[in-house]
Amino acid sequence: MRFGLLSVCLFSAGAALADPCTDEIAALYAGGALDAFAQPPHRIETTSRLADGTVQYEYLTFFDSPLRSMNGLKGQGLFTLAIGSDTWTGPTPDGPWTKMPNQMPVDMEAFRRDMQGQFARNLTETDCPGLVDSDGETFRVYRYTTQTDKNDAQGGTFFGGSYTDFIDPDSGLLMRREETGSFAHYSPQPGTNVTVSVYSYDDARRLVAPD
C-alpha cells in the first residue's frame, strides 16, 4: 500500500512539474519553426543596439541549408562562406572567395543537431502568450531563455540568451527574433544589447562551393 501511495505521489509531482509552454517551445526545435533542418532557404538581417539605442553592428546572413551559409558584417567588407565544414572568406556576398584553414567540426550536421537539442533541453523562463499583434501583423509569440551546454572539449565554451520569437501563424515560419541578455563563456554576465533579426525566405538563392 505504501509503495502504491508513493507511486501516485511521484506521478502527481511529475505532472505538476510538466510545463505545456516549455514542451511547446521544445517541439519547435524538432521539426518546427526553430528547427534549422526544417527551415527553407532564408536571409537574416540582424541589427544589434547598445542600451542607449545606438547601432553597434548590422549583420547579414544567408542560409541555403543548415550546412550551407554565408554571413558578414555590413560595411566591413568581410564575408564568410561555409559549406559543410569548409570555409572561405571574401569582400562581398558574391566573393571572390579565398579558402581558409578548416576549424569547423568534421561532422557539421551532427554538431548542429546536437546544439539544437541543447537549446531545447535547457529552456527556462518560458512564456507562450499566443497570438500577438505587432506592427500591424499577427504573430504567434514565444519567449524563453536557453543556452548550449558547456563544451569541455572546446575549452568550456557555451552561449545563450533570452529570446522572443515571432512566428507566422499561417506558414509556421520564424519571421523575427529579439534577443536580450546574451551571455557566453567569455562574458557570463547577461549583456545589455538588444539584437533584432528579421527573416525573409527565398527558395531561389543557392550557395555552392567555389571552384
CATH class of 19-201: mainly beta
The pTM for the full model equals: 0.87
What residue segments make up the domains of the chain, in order of their start?
A: 19-201
Q: Is the pLDDT of residue 86 over 60?
A: yes
Q: pLDDT tens digits, residue range 49-79?
A: 999 999 999 999 999 999 999 999 998 889 9
pLDDT at site 180: 97
Q: Is the pLDDT of residue 144 over 90?
A: yes
Q: How far is CA 153 from CA 87, 149, 158, 179, in A?
A: 22, 11, 11, 27
